[in-house]
Amino acid sequence: MSEREQIAERLKEARIMSGLSQENAAKILQIHRPAISEIESGRRKVSAEEIIQFAKLYKVSTSWLLLKEEDESAFDEQIKIAARELSSMDESDRKKLLEILRILPK
């Protein structure tokens, strides 16, 4: 997989983990939705300015998006995203989720 494809994968992963559709992200960033699709498929280069905008929107580091951080940092980014999602849940839903997590095999 080329670096452009790897960056595209990270952008897609970050968007999905942040709970945004391509349409939502495009509206917020004020670009056309097909541009998001082209970037995430690796068919369109992404500029430095766009990387910064994506990182801010998805609440991930530019280093992670640009493949500069090790896999451990990618795990840290996933933990941050999970924590953000948990904090937006109400107490009842958090308890249910924790019960489900306890059931899953380790």
Residue 41 CB-half CA count within 13 A:
9
Question: What domains are defined for the chain?
Answer: 3-103 (1.10.260.40)
- Reading the chain (106 residues) residue by residue, the pLDDT tens digits are 899 999 999 999 999 988 899 999 999 999 999 999 999 999 999 999 999 999 999 988 898 899 886 555 666 777 888 888 888 889 999 888 888 888 887 6
The answer to whether the pTM exceeds 0.75 is no
Number of H helices, E strands in the chain: 7, 0
pLDDT value of residue 72: 56
In angstroms and rounded to an integer, the radius of gyration of the C-alpha atoms of the chain is 15
Cβ burial of 65 (10 Å; 0-12, 13-18, 19+) is buried
